[in-house]
Structure 1
Amino acid sequence: MLPRSCSISSRAALGAARRGFAKKPATDNLQERLVALCRHRGFIFPGSELYGGLANSFDYGPLGALMKKNVMDRWWFEFVQRRPDCVGLDSSVLLNSAVWTASGHVDNFTDPMTVCSGCNSRVRVDQLLEAKLQTQEEIDAVAAMSLPEMDALLVQHDVACPSCGQTRSFQPAKKFNLLFRTNMGATDETCDWIYLRPETAQGAYINFANVQSTMRKKLPFGVGQMGKSFRNEISPGHFLFRTREFEQLELQFFTHPDESDDWYRYWVDQCYDFLTKYGIKPENLRKHEHPAEELAHYARATTDIQFKYPFGWSELWGIANRTSYDLKKHMDASGKSLKYQDLVAKEEFLPHVIEPALGAGRVMLSMLLDAYDEEEVNGRKRTVLHLHPDIAPYRFAVLPLVKKEPLLEVAQKLFEDLCGGASVDYDVAGSIGRRYRRQDEIGTPMCLTVDFDTLEDKCVTVRDRDSMEQKRVPIEQILQGTSVKHSGFSSF
């Protein structure tokens, strides 16, 4: 029996060692294999596939929808539900365009873009340079460069167009605004231009006074929000890493200016701990604190928690001390006070804001990449996703040994009883070995096999995904609330 304290990764390694597995070495096409698995098993489908697709558009299939919901539920629980100092909000996707003018998005929400004269493809200049430069110091310096400086660096390093391969073919860089613009109104003559929100944060800022007064919150307190955002990215790519439509998980934590640095460090640690708690290995994570010259104009400090993707280290979770920038902008533009009144200290001030901002698709991609593994068991390949039980699409799979009564009746009853406290799959197609492999590929932590002995002893065979160990467990014990909640193989 594996010790309860073992991590997911250590349990997998221990199980492999016990069974004499030959682990396959990581290869350069990890992301390609993961994309194929996601398509094959119903995690992710290409968007609009029936009509030839839409570039950088993805639909979450049955398993992807379940996994994304689990990720978002865990985030909501950890950052909102279990914290007495945080509340939730669901603000509108469509806001008065004055919001985006006041926040600076209309004028400044841009990326540097260039066009290749050879093939007319549009590319982000900073990404071209970052792929070419060797050191982190050189990469960090790009963010502070002017457009002419970026142009000169493209020539200096003979950067080639990723589409056609030509060098020195790029037109002068220019700023490209990432806002999606649409119109609202019954006719063309009366319509008003509005924007699809590029972030959920502004909805929290313009509702700061509403939330604070109705919920009677004293500083410090946070406003958590989940929802769709849209950015007209120049160079989307790397599967779920950068898409034009995505789900954001953001917390705006309002604090006294004198305490903002401490809270900033606190939330950096909380975000890192969340990722490791739900299965990402520490060796695939690192913290990158932005140097002063790389900071956004509104930020006092920013840390990116980066993940080691197949294409290199890149941002997974951004945590910023945004100071009072946003509240001040909206207060000045609206003419309405957003200051906080501390009746005890008898002072009035604009709070500072600490913002941990995460994309659901990006963290889901990171968890899938981290969990993906291939092993050789008795000369045959086994593909497995070592997903955390709280993240995996299904916590259990109920498998009748054969497709015959009365096993089907018992299995169906067990499935229905478990569904009250967990997400459960019910699979009767194919041999039991094939069904085990299918569940391994989609990350199901435990399979519960109903066989003919079950009719007599009221027990099922519980199979652990990571170690492939099996044991007989009474159905009554499995149905106990604690066991269903924790679903640890060693707890039975």
Structure 2
Amino acid sequence: MSKQTDDFFKNVISHAKEYGFVFPSSEIYDGLSAVYDYGQLGSELKNNLKTYWWKAMVQLHENIVGIDAAIFMHPTTWKASGHVDGFNDPMIDNKDSKKRYRADQLIEDKIARYEADGKVEEAQQLQADLDAALNADDLSKLKALIEAHDIVCPISGTKNWTDVRQFNLMFSTQMGASAEDAETVYLRPETAQGIFVNFLNVQKSGRMKVPFGIAQIGKAFRNEVIARQFIMRMREFEQMELQFFVRPGTELDWYNQWKETRLKWHLAVGGDPAKYRFHDHVKLAHYANAAVDIEYDFPFGFKEVEGIHSRTDFDLSQHQKYSGKKIQYFDPEINQNYVPYVIETSIGLDRLFLTVLCNSFEEQDLSTADKQDSRSVLRFHPTLAPVKAAILPLTKKDGLPDKAREILNRLKIDHNVQYDEKDSIGKRYRRQDAIGTPFCITVDYQSLEDDTVTLRHRDSMEQERVAAADLEKIVADLVGWKNLLGGL
């Protein structure tokens, strides 16, 4: 990471805290590693992102429905899914700092530094060596690569490494009224299994016909021992997942279709297409026959924000085996019973939140020959912005606040809006720019005469005079969901 991008990322994190988007969890007790709280504006933005995903997935598709499965599941679920035996990461400890890292991510960071320094051949060779080691599950090779490329601990700056070992990432707890009767259960490490175990319930109760999908948004928990990159890697996070059930033999066609559909969804938010790319998995999970990540170019390099996987019939077959229940679908078109294949799209909501922050944050120099000026602005898509409009009386007297609050009360029924009368109008504009409010409505003395107001646009800072009576329609048209969903 260059100093410029490092400074940018630090500014994003600082801005997120200063304006109420993201706080370190339990900060008054010095925080909890890799755990964050979403503030008053962050929770609004997060809810808008969830709504965008839900509408695009469920509302726009006649053959996709949503569920909300419990976090706790029968422990055999995780045996069937493979998480009990195989949900591991290759970890390495630095003996001097006592810090633990994912070995593959240390190497990936080195690859990124090679690329940033223009050492393309070194980066390509190290990537090939990493892929080979991961494919072979060769932990000693991972350590050898760390040593050969002089990778040091970011904390201690030393190369005093332990061997690479596998660590299970699931949180376990006890369920039961007494210690003697307690049963070990797990906080779910993913939301997908709640969909798979409900396949028959949804299919039968909803009279669903293959191909069809089940969508879910929910919390998941992983004992991530690496606390870095802000909300990129957290122990408690939120997933938005679709499991799309298809006839065997058609899965790769659907896989390719969902790849394009999901990338289009990301780009609709307004991000730079050059910052997104597909990254095909070199090492496929044992249950998959195709897998790709949609990656975003964060200040610290390209990282996954969404995965699209062709999971074959592994999940339903495993639950059929471990439960002893028949989990199949009768396809009347071919007069045949089968276990459906699955295409999965899985997006981390917190990572999506971070992409939107990084995409939107800008520090602008607005200086002229006569005056020094600047602003920090979040260029959120108007539909996703936490606050859609701010209503600002020019002064606190002469009936202007009454007129402004009359407009506020009309708009707040349908939109999240703010009222602000403190400081000069210029300072208030800057505050709204900083939280990403796309429109400011200023009530001035002319408003009392002709019932018009000034509508200011965040991105261009241009102002126009509009009738106050038309504001409900104007704002609805500017921030409505059709602006995002209409082109999908």
Query: Structure 2-normalised TM-score?
Result: 0.92
- Indicate which of 253, 256, 262 corresponds to 2:244: 253
Distance (whole Å) between structure 1 residues aligned to residue 93 and residue 365 of structure 2: 47
Distance (whole Å) between structure 1 residues aligned to residue 432 and residue 329 of structure 2: 52
Q: Secondary structure at the match of 1:453?
A: helix
Q: Is the 8 A contact 1:321 1:353 kept in 2?
A: yes
- Indicate which of 81, 91, 96 corresponds to 1:113: 91
- Indicate which of 289, 301, 310 corresponds to 1:321: 310
Tell me the alpha carbon deviations over residues 449-489 of structure 1, each in whole angstroms, 9 at most, x when there is no partner: 11111111111100000000000011222212x6414349x
C-alpha deviation, 1:141, in angstroms: 3.7
Distance (whole Å) between structure 2 residues aligned to residue 443 and residue 288 of structure 1: 31
Structure 2 residue runs of 5 or longer lacking an equivalent are 112-122, 484-488
Match of 2:357 in 1: 368
Distance (whole Å) between structure 2 residues aligned to residue 205 and residue 234 of structure 1: 28
Tell me the alpha carbon deviations over residues 212-234 of structure 1, each in whole angstroms, 9 at most, x when there is no partner: 00000001111010011000012
Match of 1:62 in 2: 40
Match of 1:447 in 2: 440
- Indicate which of 416, 424, 445 corresponds to 2:417: 424
Q: Is the 8 A contact 2:152 2:158 kept in 1?
A: yes
Deviates more, 1:274-283 or 1:91-100: 274-283
Distance (whole Å) between structure 2 residues aligned to residue 141 and residue 405 of structure 1: 74
Q: Is the 8 A contact 2:130 2:142 kept in 1?
A: no
Distance (whole Å) between structure 1 residues aligned to residue 389 and residue 25 of structure 2: 29
Distance (whole Å) between structure 2 residues aligned to residue 118 and residue 359 of structure 1: 33
- Relative to structure 1, the CA distance from residue 409 to residue 289 in structure 2 (aligned partners, 3 Å threshold; closer, same or farther) is same
C-alpha deviation, 1:140, in angstroms: 3.7
Deviates more, 1:88-97 or 1:141-150: 141-150
Tell me the alpha carbon deviations over residues 403-433 of structure 1, each in whole angstroms, 9 at most, x when there is no partner: 2251111111211111222221111221110
C-alpha deviation, 1:151, in angstroms: 2.0
Q: Which gives a bigger RCO, structure 1 or 2 (Cα 8 Å, sep 6+)?
A: 1
Match of 2:142 in 1: 150
Distance (whole Å) between structure 2 residues aligned to residue 430 and residue 250 of structure 1: 45
Match of 2:300 in 1: 311
In the alignment, residue 408 of structure 1 is paired with which amino acid? Answer: P
Distance (whole Å) between structure 2 residues aligned to residue 138 and residue 392 of structure 1: 43
Tell me the alpha carbon deviations over residues 253-293 of structure 1, each in whole angstroms, 9 at most, x when there is no partner: 111112111111111111111111112211111111123xx
The size of the alignment, in residue pairs, is: 461
In the alignment, residue 32 of structure 1 is paired with which amino acid? Answer: K
Distance (whole Å) between structure 2 residues aligned to residue 280 and residue 180 of structure 1: 35
Distance (whole Å) between structure 1 residues aligned to residue 450 and residue 444 of structure 2: 10
Q: Secondary structure at the match of 2:445?
A: coil
Q: Is the 8 A contact 1:446 1:463 kept in 2?
A: yes
- Indicate which of 390, 405, 411 corresponds to 1:412: 405
Q: Secondary structure at the match of 1:331?
A: helix
Distance (whole Å) between structure 2 residues aligned to residue 435 and residue 467 of structure 1: 16
- Relative to structure 1, the CA distance from residue 444 to residue 424 in structure 2 (aligned partners, 3 Å threshold; closer, same or farther) is same
Q: Secondary structure at the match of 1:217?
A: coil
Ranges of 4+ aligned residues in structure 1 off by more than 6 Å? none
C-alpha deviation, 1:90, in angstroms: 0.2
> Are 1:233 and 2:224 matched, yes or no?
yes
- Relative to structure 1, the CA distance from residue 117 to residue 214 in structure 2 (aligned partners, 3 Å threshold; closer, same or farther) is same
In the alignment, residue 212 of structure 1 is paired with which amino acid? Answer: Q
Q: Secondary structure at the match of 2:6?
A: coil
Q: Secondary structure at the match of 1:468?
A: coil
- Correspondences of 1:40-439 after superposition (within 5 Å): 40-133=18-111, 134-135=123-124, 136-144=127-135, 145-167=137-159, 169-291=160-282, 294-378=283-367, 379-439=372-432
Distance (whole Å) between structure 2 residues aligned to residue 121 and residue 373 of structure 1: 34
In the alignment, residue 20 of structure 2 is paired with which amino acid? Answer: G
Structure 1 residue runs of 5 or longer lacking an equivalent are 1-24
Q: Secondary structure at the match of 1:288?
A: strand
Tell me the alpha carbon deviations over residues 342-363 of structure 1, each in whole angstroms, 9 at most, x when there is no partner: 1231111111111110111100
Match of 1:469 in 2: 462
Q: Secondary structure at the match of 1:336?
A: coil
C-alpha deviation, 1:236, in angstroms: 3.0
Q: Is the 8 A contact 2:44 2:386 kept in 1?
A: yes
In the alignment, residue 444 of structure 2 is paired with which amino acid? Answer: D
In the alignment, residue 417 of structure 1 is paired with which amino acid? Answer: R
In the alignment, residue 193 of structure 2 is paired with which amino acid? Answer: Q
In the alignment, residue 209 of structure 1 is paired with which amino acid? Answer: L
In the alignment, residue 64 of structure 2 is paired with which amino acid? Answer: C
Distance (whole Å) between structure 1 residues aligned to residue 323 and residue 398 of structure 2: 69
Match of 1:4 in 2: none
Deviates more, 1:329-338 or 1:376-385: 376-385
Q: Secondary structure at the match of 2:172?
A: strand
Distance (whole Å) between structure 1 residues aligned to residue 11 and residue 247 of structure 2: 48
Distance (whole Å) between structure 1 residues aligned to residue 333 and residue 341 of structure 2: 19
Distance (whole Å) between structure 1 residues aligned to residue 67 and residue 273 of structure 2: 31
In the alignment, residue 83 of structure 1 is paired with which amino acid? Answer: H
C-alpha deviation, 1:105, in angstroms: 0.3
Q: Is the 8 A contact 2:5 2:299 kept in 1?
A: no
Q: Is the 8 A contact 1:279 1:367 kept in 2?
A: no
Q: Is the 8 A contact 2:267 2:273 kept in 1?
A: yes
Query: Structure 1-normalised TM-score?
Result: 0.91
